Amino acid sequence: MDIPRLFEGEIAIVCGTGPSITPEIIEQVNDSGCKVFGANRAYEIFNCDVVHGCNYQFWDLHYPKMPKGVFEMWTTRPELEGKYPGLNYVEERWEDGLSTEQHWISAHHGTGPQLVNIAYLYGCTTLLLVGW
């Protein structure tokens, strides 16, 4: 599936859930007015526009309890394509850098760098990282 260029020129905050996350950072991100891209469980603390998880275990455990229709959901796991309503599949390729093609992202080694590529493909031009 192609990643839509819905946020052309927007600022994106790409959120992980690392130990640098404080209540102040959560508040600043949620009140920022920026587009929020969350990795895995970041949806539990941030008001995400997009959530990405690159492994099937995350989706098998969390999809049933996630709010539906609140944010876009993405995975690179082809075995999940069509399994969960609203979960979008995008192909991953082992390429250097970021993909500029809307139908695939660079795999790298996990959700964080993949989420940066997704935010870029959504059209975001400035990316701020928190929780990494």
Contacts of 114-117 with CB under 8 Å at 24 or more apart are 114/52, 114/54, 114/76, 115/14, 115/37, 115/38, 115/39, 115/50, 115/52, 116/14
pLDDT digits (tens, 9 = 90+) for 83-94: 999 999 999 999
Whether pTM exceeds 0.85: yes
pLDDT digits (tens, 9 = 90+) for 18-76: 999 999 999 999 999 999 999 999 999 999 999 999 999 999 999 999 999 999 999 99
